[in-house]
Amino acid sequence: MAKIKTSYFCQSCGYESAKWLGKCPSCQQWNTFVEEIIEKPNAAVPDWKNTGSTTQQRANKAVAVHDITVHEELRYVTPDGEFNRVLGGGIVAGSLILIGGEPGIGKSTLMLQLALNMPKLKVLYVSGEESEKQIKMRAERLATAPQPSKGGANDADPTSAPPLGSGGAGCFILTETSTQNIFKQIEQLEPQLVVIDSIQTLHSSHIESTPGSVSQVRECTAELLRFAKESGTPVILIGHITKDGMIAGPKILEHMVDTVLQFEGDRHHVYRILRAVKNRFGSASELGIYEMLGVGLREVSNPSEILLSQRDEPLSGITISATLEGLRPMLIETQALVSTSPYGTPQRSATGFDTRRMNMLLAVLEKRCGFRLGAKDVFLNITGGIRVEDPAIDLGLAAAIISSHEDMPIPFKTCFAGELGLSGEIRAVNRVEQRIAEAQKLGFERIFISKYNLPSAKQDKHQRIDLSRYTIEIIPVASIEEVFSLLFG
């Protein structure tokens, strides 16, 4: 009788070892190795794998780059505009998409809503966590399609929306965890889109380990990847995440798929963010914003309005910054609080912003402007629950810190777009015209930008910024000292 082959896997990163180790040499975690059976003797090959025998027999040959013919990839445009934007224009045929997020954040709701709202496609929704009755109850709750929101929770009536996807006529539900049975149903149904909820619940018969283990997740993903590439059918996988916020399973799982999406947000708030972490068919810096309602997820078409609070009186430490998420310009509210530290060591805290960059801004303000911030507690906050890495908000954050330190509010209808250098200079930012246009559209009266963003004689005429077409007042600045004198005199 053949001996069963076993190996040890790290449950944190997927590192494989022939023997048990106390500490993983890859991720440096302790006591994470478990023994798993790699392959059962005489394991039967699934029937669907034999369908690609002709491709296995064909020998690949080296081809010159200029001889390769390139065709535009086929994309399925979904009714969800935010989902299309994050993917780069729609779902690419034959692609493998992985969506991760915290439990209860709305991953299954988003995917079921997408499956029900595509009547022109035959969609197979495979669930290994819920029964058919549970999915039916959720589908009835999603029977009213949320309309795209302009930014507020009260600007649309969800009950007046049209029916969702003609009752989900093209959506088929399968509650199964065996990949062999799933592929048999796929062969009979021949769907155009497959949704797996979730990849941690699937198991393959020729891998003798528990569902959710490293070897099972890797093998099931490999089978789905081969099916997607051979048949040209896009597959969407829903994945769990660990307590550290990373997608559960081996790290190789993220390398195998074409697109990795992260569904973020606080379950106690109504807004959700769909962020592209990896995308082989589009930009990996796009962002989609949703509003969670009782009837499902509603698209937020103008996020600037929900990220800006409505204030009746001016308050110190609050500024508006123009940022870019992918190709979408947004105006966000940046808040700062500077207070005297009651203890010997001052506190430094930033929400939605890099703490190390905040320390750099404080050092520049203390060195170049003379503000004594070494003994002050400084707290920064990016409203809306989003995290911003755009350096163009440096100028707005620096103005908010100065405003809170001096307890002098920034004038209304003023926004900022500029990067702050170590010598106190205001550096130019990319696509400043889109930021100016967004500020003008939302009714702002003036915007501070770097003077190096202004047109110069050295620039080509096609690269110059046409300032005459803007009604908003554009104030070019060169240093942080100049900004301070213009704002506070």
Q: At 350, is the secondary structure helix, strand, or coil?
A: strand
What are phi and psi for residue 295, nearest 5 degrees?
A: -105, 15
- In 3D space, the residue among 444, 459, 320 whose CA is nearest the CA of residue 392 turns out to be 320
Contact status, residue 112 vs residue 121, Cβ threshold 8 Å: no
- In 3D space, the residue among 235, 255, 277 whose CA is nearest the CA of residue 101 turns out to be 277
Record the tokens describing residue 436, joined without a space.
Answer: 């100016």
Region of 393 (left: φ > 0; alpha: ψ -120 to 50; beta: rest) is alpha
Cα–Cα distance measured from residue 119 to residue 164, given in angstroms and rounded to the nearest whole number: 9
Q: In what order do the strands lie in the sheet with 193-197?
A: 171-175, 123-127, 193-197, 235-239, 96-101, 259-264, 271-279, 287-293, 296-299
To the question of whether residue 102 is assigned a binding role by annotation, the answer is yes
To the question of whether residue 128 is assigned a binding role by annotation, the answer is no
Record the tokens describing residue 448, joined without a space.
Answer: 């501070």
To the question of whether residue 455 is assigned a binding role by annotation, the answer is no
Q: At 359, is the secondary structure helix, strand, or coil?
A: helix
- In 3D space, the residue among 243, 237, 244, 242 whose CA is nearest the CA of residue 259 turns out to be 237
Cα–Cα distance measured from residue 420 to residue 480, given in angstroms and rounded to the nearest whole number: 8
Distance of CA 105 to the CA centre of its chain: 13
Q: At 47, is the secondary structure helix, strand, or coil?
A: helix
C-alpha R_g of the chain: 27
The answer to whether the bond into 198 is cis (omega within 30° of 0) is yes
To the question of whether residue 213 is assigned a binding role by annotation, the answer is no
Q: Give residue for tokens 């972490």.
A: 277
Q: In what order do the strands lie in the sheet with 348-351?
A: 348-351, 376-382, 328-340, 318-325, 414-417, 446-450, 473-477
What are phi and psi for residue 244, nearest 5 degrees?
A: -85, 0
Give me the residues paired with residue 293 across strands: 296
To the question of whether residue 106 is assigned a binding role by annotation, the answer is yes
To the question of whether residue 438 is assigned a binding role by annotation, the answer is no
DSSP conformation class of 56: H
What are phi and psi for residue 106, nearest 5 degrees?
A: 120, 20
455 vs 209, 440, 464, 467, CA distance in Å? 64, 19, 5, 9
To the question of whether residue 17 is assigned a binding role by annotation, the answer is no
Cα–Cα distance measured from residue 373 to residue 360, given in angstroms and rounded to the nearest whole number: 12
To the question of whether residue 385 is assigned a binding role by annotation, the answer is no
Query: Residues 371, 375, 381, 382: is their CA dihedral positive or negative?
Result: positive
Binding residues for ATP: 101-108
Binding residues: 101-108
